[in-house]
A and B are shown apart, each in its own frame.
Chain A
C-alpha cells in the first residue's frame, strides 16, 4: 500500500543547532505539505511544496518528486520549534496521507 515514512522518529537538539527531517513516499505525488504540530496540538501548515525548494525564515524545504523524498531544514533551532513535524502527501485524490512524524525536542 501507499506509505509515507519520516525519519528520524525522534530528535533532541540543543537550542541553536540545525536539523534535517526527511520524508520518503512510496508513489508519485501531486503535492506535499509540511506541518508542525505544537505542544498544544495545533497543526500549522509550514510549506506547500510539490517540488523544488522554498524558504520561510529559519525554515526551508526541498522536495525531489522524481526520487520520492522531501527534506525539511530547521536552522538555529529555538525552543518554540519543539513539537511533531508531519509531512503529508496527496496521491491524486483529495485526501492527504500523513507520515509517521518526527518528534523534535529543543533543549534550552
Chain B
C-alpha cells in the first residue's frame, strides 16, 4: 500500500536555529497537510497546501513557519527560528480529495533545546 514518508524521524536542534522537515506524500495525492502533536496532547492542524499554495492555516502557523513543494515529490515544513514550545511530533499527511480520507506519515519528533 502506498504511504507517506517523512524524514528525519528525529531532529534535535538548538533554540533559534532553523529546521526543515521533509515529506514525500502519496504520489497521486494533490492535497498536503502538516499537523503537530505536543507530547500527551491531541493532534493539531497547522496548514493545508494545494496547487502550490497554502489553502488554509491555523493560528499556530505564524510567520516563523513556511511550507514548500520544491519539486514534484517533496513537501517541506520550515521553522525559521525554533522556540522551546515548537518541540512536538510533526506529521505530514496527504489526501486525494480535500477533507476526505487522510493518510499520515510516521512523523518527525522535533526536540528544541
Contact = CB atoms under 8 A, between A and B. Distances in A.
A43 interface: yes
Contacts of A98: 42-44
Contacts of B102: 33, 45, 88, 96
B89 A41 contact: yes
A43 B89 CA distance: 11
Contact of B104 (A31, A43, A95, A101): A43
B104 A48 contact: no
Nearest to A35: B104
B25 interface: no
Nearest to A91: B99
B106 A95 contact: no
Given A41-B109, A93-B56, A95-B48, 18 more contacts: A30-B99, A31-B100, A33-B102, A40-B106, A41-B106, A43-B91, A43-B104, A44-B104, A45-B101, A45-B103, A86-B42, A88-B43, A93-B99, A94-B33, A94-B56, A95-B58, A96-B45, A98-B43
28 contacts: A33-B101, A33-B102, A40-B106, A41-B106, A41-B107, A42-B104, A42-B107, A43-B43, A43-B91, A44-B104, A48-B100, A48-B101, A88-B43, A88-B102, A94-B33, A94-B48, A94-B55, A94-B56, A94-B98, A94-B99, A95-B33, A95-B48, A95-B56, A96-B45, A96-B102, A98-B42, A98-B43, A101-B42
Interface of A: 30-31, 33, 35, 40-45, 48, 86, 88, 90, 93-101
